[in-house]
Structure 1
Amino acid sequence: MNILETDRLILRNATADDAPFILDLLNQPSFIRFIGDRGIRDLDGAREYIQTRLVKSYDSHGFGLYLTLLKEGDIPIGICGLVKREGLDDVDVGFAFLPQYESKGYGFESAAAIMDYSRNTLGLKRIAGITTTDNHRSIRLLEKLGLKFEKMIKLPNDDEELKFFIRTL
């Protein structure tokens, strides 16, 4: 189901059919370095990840991380959407793209649409963003979206300090 469309992109719910793409994305060195190793190594694991993480969030919260595709050619390039994390009071905006689609404005285009959707459709009042201290691309994107650095945090069961950003919608 399509959730959003922008000039160049479609954001839609992920399905089990997206397992090959999700397997590729989750095993990109940049994903593992900046977001984390999800331990997904085969198509069955990718299908389970889609069901237990992405689809579960759609069902539980009414939002989640959406498959992000180029309109032209219906090509999956990444994920972008909203995450409700344990240890965070606010919903946070999340995104990850295959390296060949970075630095082309797709991250901002999709995340800006998610910010509007958050306010206008979901009625959210604040959006957070979290990232590692060395993920300069994500930091720049969060700032371009209008989020402001507030503090350093640690999520439950994780020792890594993360930069926490917030924006009132």
Structure 2
Amino acid sequence: MVEFLETERLILRPLNLDDAERLFLLDSNAEVMKYIGIAPLSQIEQSVEVIKMIQKQYAENGIGRYGVIEKASNLLIGWSGLKFLTEEINGIKNVYDLGYRFLPEYWGKGYATEAAKAFIAYGFNDLNLDEICAHAHSGNDASIHTLRKLGFEEKEKFVDELDGAECYWYELKKENF
């Protein structure tokens, strides 16, 4: 597992329990959670459990979502990264899934794209992956735009079993990055 990745404006590092307060700001925000398929968190202890779950993914799979720190403010502004899917989504598992989630005040600044590019490069160059997958709620235009800008190709529509929402499945091949 890589200790951290760095981009022009961001530091991407494993989440730790000290991140619980900022993660709770993110995951308790109804606007942030609108297309996630689960209700906003209501207690900070839930964020602690999320971090522990992600840390377990680091230990078991050598990868997981990382905290995104804005260099200018030194604040955790969201998360991004690759996750090894061990449970089926769209009938698919045992693939690497790109994801990202940011606080609303950091939307529209290119942070999702910047962080995702670093993780895609890490996945293809360091993990030697041939393909990275992603999925997005059909109504989440910003996320869909980001995935397309990154070169992901829409493969199919599917219904998310969590909330019955229509989603899109995307794939990016190493040779297309």
Mapping of 1:146-157 within 5 angstroms? Answer: 146-155=151-160
Asked if the contact 1:118/1:124 (under 8 Å) is kept, the reply is: yes
| CA offsets 1:28-86 (integer angstroms, 9 cap, x no match) | 2222211133563222221111102x111111111111000111231111100012331
Report what 1:113 is aligned to.
118
Unpaired stretches in structure 1, ≥5 consecutive residues: none
SS of the equivalent of 2:34 reads: helix
8 Å CA contact 2:57, 2:64 repeated in 1:
yes
Which residue of 2 is the match for residue 74 of structure 1?
74
Does 2:5 align with 1:4?
A: yes
Aligned equivalents of 2:36, 2:55: Cα separation in 1 = 19
CA 38–124 in structure 1, closer or farther in 2 if over 3 Å, else same? farther
Q: For 2:4, what is the secondary structure of its paired residue?
A: strand
Checking the alignment, whether the CA contact within 8 Å between 2:26 and 2:102 is kept in structure 1 is yes
> Which runs of at least 4 in structure 1 moved beyond 2 Å after TM superposition?
36-40, 153-161
Q: How many angstroms does 1:161 deviate by?
A: 2.8
* Alignment partner, residue 83 of structure 1: 83
Q: Which residue of 1 aligns with 2:63?
A: 63
Describe the superposition over 1:123-150 as per-residue Cα deviations: whole angstroms up to 9, x where unpaired: 1110111011000000000001110101
Q: Report the AA paired with residue 73 of structure 2.
A: G
Q: Partners in 2 of 1:167 and 1:82 — Cα distance?
A: 13
Which letter does structure 1 place at the counterpart of 2:75? I
For residue 15 of structure 1, report the CA deviation from its aligned partner. 0.6
| Secondary structure in structure 2 of the residue aligned to 1:93 | strand
Instruction: Measure the CA separation in 2 of the matches of 1:156 and 1:124.
Output: 27
* Distance in 2 between residues matched to 1:20 and 1:64, nearest whole Å: 19
Write the letter of the residue equivalent to 2:64.
Answer: G
Aligned residues of 2:81 and 2:116 also touching (Cα < 8 A): yes
Equivalent position of 1:48 in the other structure: 49
Counterpart code for 2:26: L
State the number of aligned residues. 168
**Which position in structure 2 is the counterpart of 1:141?**
146
Contact 2:131–2:173 at 8 Å: present in 1 too? Answer: yes
Please provide the CA RMSD for this pair.
1.6
Structure 2 gaps, min length 5: none
So what's the TM-score if we normalise by structure 2?
0.88
Calculate the TM-score normalised by the size of structure 1.
0.92
Query: Which residue is equivalent to 1:127?
Result: 132
